[in-house]
A and B are shown apart, each in its own frame.
Chain A
Amino acid sequence: MSKYFWISILIALTCLSGQLYGQRPTGGGVPQGQGSNTAVADSVRKANKIKPSYKPTGVRFGANIFRLASSALSNNKSQWDITSDIDFNNYMLEVSYGRASNMVVNDSLNYSNSGSFLRIGGDINFIKDKTDANALVIGLKYVRGTYNEDLSFVDIDTLFGNTARELSNKGLTSSWVEANVGMKVRMWEHLYLGFYFRYRFNLAVKGDREFGTYQIPGYGLEERRNIMGLDYYIAWRIPFKKSPKIEDSN
């Protein structure tokens, strides 16, 4: 519980210091020298009306800080998740790939799993000002993964005696849907921090199993048909064209 508390403090401070709502004027503002005449201003705005462009302006590549931190803090867990997104005006396409492995060793059992997952989907960005490429998004993603599991333990039966068991689930496939809400905020130059709340549902698992699946890489516990999760990302954006230089008129 304390790990999530301090990470959320970081999120709160990030949002308070971020520049989600830019105060810079957008293109198509009233040119200087036109005076304060409303009718003239309206006609100028109509003349300068810019049609929305769906050409991508840049691509962002990032990594899931939560998963990396979790791996660093645990000897039995290894996971990473990289993401990329590209914008089309108010719409964004996101593609993520991740790998995870987990091991549980105690007196009761010896369990391990490993697998990978691929996430693809779209977001709608509700921030109109595209100057900093900040985003406040709602979206839907489809995730598909493959994984293996191994389990060994001693089955204790006081009547019929103890039996050593070694079981494996190989080549299983999993899929689920994620509904997400998130933010991406420019912190410095092309560096962004952001988070996603992901609601995972509609889980499906296929493949022959020697024991009931325990954990699915990228999803969580298989017995939970719906899971709410929080991911926190750091990302670098590569714009497709540089901003035009402002020339000195003197």
Chain B
Amino acid sequence: MNLLKGISIFTLLIAILIGCQDIKDCQLKDDTNFYVVALFDKDTTSSTESVAFTSIIEESLNGAFYLDTTMSTFILPINTTDTVTTYFFESELGSDTMVVSYDFQYNIFFDECEPAQRFFGLQVLSHTFDSVSVVNDDLNNEIVRNVEVFLD
């Protein structure tokens, strides 16, 4: 009978543990809707190259992502309503374009939060730079670089 009492108490404790609720935080996710671009000189690929940009815009938007800024590494948002995004770059080096494609999937983590959109399979469909390389095709907060652009 002591064994039965022990089992009963153990059952009670386990049920209490099962009844505990998870902490729900709608911001607690690593997925992002942008990717990181790094610029390199095609002849010296060991370090990034700073370029003065007049503007970086996306085809369907009226505004610009960047205006009159010099940078070597920057983020580019993707069009979350589509699977393709086209960018136009105006810089000291001239005019360039780049088209990227990607896949996405929605996931529900907590039923009080809006479904999270995870982007993956990033590809460069076309570009006018000297060369472009995708080093990480997942869009995630923990990834420091997705695309490397090599310039003349």
- Given the contacts A4-B18, A211-B107, A212-B107, A12 and B61 also touching, CB distance less than 8 Å: no
Q: Dominant SS at the A interface? A: mixed
- Residues of B close to A163: CB separation below 8 A: 80-81
Query: Is A248's CB within 8 Å of the partner chain B?
Result: no
A151 CA / B117 CA spacing, docked (Å): 13
B13 to chain A, nearest CB (A): 8
- Given contacts A212-B105, A212-B108, 9 further A-B pairs with CB under 8 A are A5-B19, A8-B16, A11-B8, A15-B7, A21-B1, A156-B114, A160-B61, A160-B80, A214-B111
- Residues of B close to A209: CB separation below 8 A: 105
Q: Which of A60-82 contact B (CB under 8 A)?
A: none
- Which 7 A-B pairs rank lowest in CB-CB distance, beginning with the nearest? A4-B19, A212-B107, A8-B15, A12-B8, A8-B12, A1-B19, A214-B108
CB pair A211–B19 under 8 Å, yes or no, is no
**How would residues 221 to 232 of chain A score, 1 for a CB under 8 Å from any chain B CB and 0 otherwise?**
001000011100
Query: Is B28's CB within 8 Å of the partner chain A?
Result: no
Query: Is A183's CB within 8 Å of the partner chain B?
Result: yes
A167 CA / B33 CA spacing, docked (Å): 20
A18 CA / B9 CA spacing, docked (Å): 15
Query: Is A7's CB within 8 Å of the partner chain B?
Result: yes
- Residues of A close to B16: CB separation below 8 A: 1, 4-5, 8
- Residues of A close to B1: CB separation below 8 A: 16, 21
Q: How many residues of B contact A (CB 8 A)?
A: 35
CB pair B11–A195 under 8 Å, yes or no, is yes
A12 CA / B4 CA spacing, docked (Å): 9
Query: Is A161's CB within 8 Å of the partner chain B?
Result: yes
- Residues of B close to A4: CB separation below 8 A: 15-16, 18-19
CB pair B12–A9 under 8 Å, yes or no, is yes
Query: Is B66's CB within 8 Å of the partner chain A?
Result: no
CB pair B79–A211 under 8 Å, yes or no, is no
- Residues of A close to B114: CB separation below 8 A: 108-109, 153, 155-156
CB pair A5–B108 under 8 Å, yes or no, is no
A163 CA / B114 CA spacing, docked (Å): 13
- Residues of B close to A228: CB separation below 8 A: 14, 18
Identify B81's interface contact among A21, A111, A160, A230, CB under 8 A: A160
A221 CA / B111 CA spacing, docked (Å): 11
